[in-house]
Amino acid sequence: MRNKGDFLFTSESVSEGHPDKVADRISDTILDTYLAADSEARVACETLVTTNKVLLAGEIRGPASITGDLIIEKAREAIKDIGYDQEGFSWKTADIQSVLHAQSEHIARGVDSAEGKDEGAGDQGIMFGFATTETEPLMPAPIFYAHKLLQTIHDLRKADDQRVAGLQPDAKSQVTLRYVDGKPIGATSVVISTQHDENMSQSRIKEMLLDIAEETLPEGWMCPIDEFYVNPTGVFVIGGPDGDCGLTGRKIIVDTYGGAAPHGGGAFSGKDPTKVDRSAAYACRYLAKNVVASGIADRCTLQISYAIGISHPLSVYVDLDGTGKDVDEAKLEGVLRELMDLSPRGIRKHLRLNRPIYTETSAYGHFGREPDMEKDNFPWEQTDLVDSLRNAFNR
């Protein structure tokens, strides 16, 4: 997304009850189960969900205490917490099967450390991070508010708030913002589609969600009422995995920056932090956010690349999109490599990633979330490099 000129930009979000997000949630629940038992466990868990069926596949390396029965039990708990106990998809009756198998010895050989060899990347790939001053969490505004709408509905639903009585777990949002001179000034349209009880009128649902949208968007940002779309198809009773098949890793743009920044293509959920698809993307966000939080630029895009089995990144690239304040981007690339060891092991240690902290990431975005100091979650959102960056550029 360009940082100058007048234009419209749109991002979408999906709720924890969307079938793809149900799959992400189950995959990350299995990952956390393994990491809670063994911080060095290796997990690549893929999940498929459809009408009252769940299939888990992929590769693992972890303690024998994590049995197939326990994996299925954890999957049921995840479905229950999301809120599915419907005829077509229920935590009680769903047929859940696990065909997870041991990690490939060839992959393990490339990743594991050995005498004279540091731990290598779990795969080749490119990862991106991004930050911008558009919002307080330094996220692009369209995806931030698309997430915030659904997060608000989720919080109210979990609290049994009567303002959302009758709404069910599956939902999507889409927010289009107008930019003037590169800065967001308000919404031109808002779309919310939400699963609901069969006896609810669409006019009542629209009335409920209008109040939430007006409260969620900044004052004066609400779109015209004729551009506020709720359940455009008219009815949304059949939803979740009963309405559509869901797969782990199919919402990578929702998970990151809503299309406002590049994406390397790798998904996050279900992958342990030796997989740089996940851990290096977190490192990129961490570094980009610290750059912008330090005040040396208003926007920062960062790319890192890796090869499977190789411990050091093949490249580090920084683009400040013309917003750098007398900052040499080549120098900044070197400074960032000095501030953080970007080997897979270095990233995991710096961000404390070998912990069961991933279930929370599976819905409403991996980035722009507020870290809870007590839980020590979302460590890649911390801005503890700000002083070092300012010192490096004499600020």
147 is in an annotated binding site: no
271 is in an annotated binding site: yes
H/E element, 153: helix 141-158
267 is in an annotated binding site: yes
Determine the Cα–Cα distance for residues 165 and 269; give it in Å rounded to an integer.
Answer: 30
The total number of residues written for the chain in this structure? 395
pLDDT score recorded for residue 105: 60
For the segment 199-227, what is each residue's pLDDT rounded down to a tens digit?
A: 999 999 999 999 999 999 999 999 999 99
46 is in an annotated binding site: yes
H-type helices in 197-297, by residue range? 202-216, 240-243, 252-255, 276-293
Determine the Cα–Cα distance for residues 258 and 147; give it in Å rounded to an integer.
Answer: 10
pLDDT score recorded for residue 23: 98
pLDDT score recorded for residue 37: 97
Mean pLDDT for 385-394 is: 95
Determine the Cα–Cα distance for residues 63 and 45; give it in Å rounded to an integer.
Answer: 15
Determine the Cα–Cα distance for residues 281 and 273; give it in Å rounded to an integer.
Answer: 10
170 is in an annotated binding site: yes
Closest CA to 209 of 178, 244, 246, 175: 175
Q: Indicate the average pLDDT of the chain.
A: 94
Mean pLDDT for 145-157 is: 97
Determine the Cα–Cα distance for residues 164 and 376; give it in Å rounded to an integer.
Answer: 31
* Residue 122: band (very low, low, confident or very high) from pLDDT cuts 50, 70, 90: confident
Domains along the sequence of the chain with CATH: 7-14+141-243 (3.30.300.10), 19-111 (3.30.300.10), 125-133+250-392 (3.30.300.10)
214 is in an annotated binding site: no
pLDDT score recorded for residue 394: 84
Tell me 16's DSSP state.
T
Rg (CA), the chain: 21
Tell me 278's DSSP state.
H
For the segment 236-248, what is each residue's pLDDT rounded down to a tens digit?
A: 999 999 999 999 9
pLDDT at 114 over 60: no
pLDDT score recorded for residue 372: 87
pLDDT score recorded for residue 3: 81
124 is in an annotated binding site: no
Determine the Cα–Cα distance for residues 187 and 167; give it in Å rounded to an integer.
Answer: 24
Tell me 190's DSSP state.
E
Specify whether the CB–CB gap between 377 and 360 falls below 8 A.
yes
H/E element, 10: strand 7-14
250 is in an annotated binding site: yes
pLDDT score recorded for residue 211: 94
User: Over pLDDT 70: what percentage of the chain?
Assistant: 96
Specify whether the CB–CB gap between 379 and 371 falls below 8 A.
yes
* Residue 383: band (very low, low, confident or very high) from pLDDT cuts 50, 70, 90: very high
| 71 three-state secondary structure | helix
pLDDT at 131 over 70: yes
Question: Which of 63-67, 100-104, 162-166, 219-223 is the least confident region?
Answer: 100-104
pLDDT score recorded for residue 123: 79
For the segment 295-352, what is each residue's pLDDT rounded down to a tens digit?
A: 999 999 999 999 988 889 999 999 999 999 999 999 999 999 999 999 999 999 999 9
pLDDT at 124 over 90: no
